[in-house]
Amino acid sequence: MFKKLLILSMAFIALNANDLPTKSQDMSIEDMRASNKQIASLAVAEMSKSLPQQIDKFTKLVKCEAKDSTIIYTHELSVPPKSDEELKKDGLSRMKDSLIYGTCEHSARFLQADITIRYIYTSASSKAELFRLDIDKKSCAKK
């Protein structure tokens, strides 16, 4: 489910490389680190154009924003009949490995450039935050 979003992120960089000083594929990791705030902002601007976006039966991507060198994806979960408390209790533990794996596989260039990917999950009904997860290049070294 998150693979689609991550692929979309990387496709944005490839398709919109004209907005960057040089094509991102040709940039060194050092150059990307120096431009990571710009890269995060450009990626978010492009991805935000297609929001909200239904990711799967239970998940909707509702917001994408950049804060410094962090890309923040905010999702809403609707998993009836589970309550917010049930989702808070086991949601992160159930999704963590998949999120880390997918992000490390499909957003490696972002992570190598010291851009952090943050996932925030909220309840579709109450709008309360259920859980969040930050993934950076250190997260991938642990897998």
Cα Rg of the chain, angstroms: 15
pLDDT attached to residue 34? 64
pLDDT confidence tier of residue 135, bands split at 50, 70 and 90: very high
User: Across residues 102-110, what is the average pLDDT?
Assistant: 91
**pTM, rounded to two decimals:** 0.76
pLDDT attached to residue 118? 97
Six token digits for residue 76: 């809403």
Cα distance between residue 28 and residue 8, in whole Å? 22
What DSSP assignment string belongs to 82-133?
Answer: --HHHHHHHHHHHHHHHHHHHHHHH-HHHHHTT-EEEEEEEETTT--EEEEE
pLDDT attached to residue 80? 87
Q: Return the percentage of the chain with pLDDT > 70, whole number.
A: 77
Q: Give pLDDT tens digits for 6-38.
A: 444 444 444 344 444 444 456 676 776 667 888
The domains of the chain, with CATH numbers, are 2-142 (3.30.300.250)
User: Across residues 47-69, what is the average pLDDT?
Assistant: 93
Coil vs helix vs strand at 33: helix
pLDDT attached to residue 40? 85
User: Across residues 111-139, what is the average pLDDT?
Assistant: 94
Helix runs in 35-83, H state only: 36-48
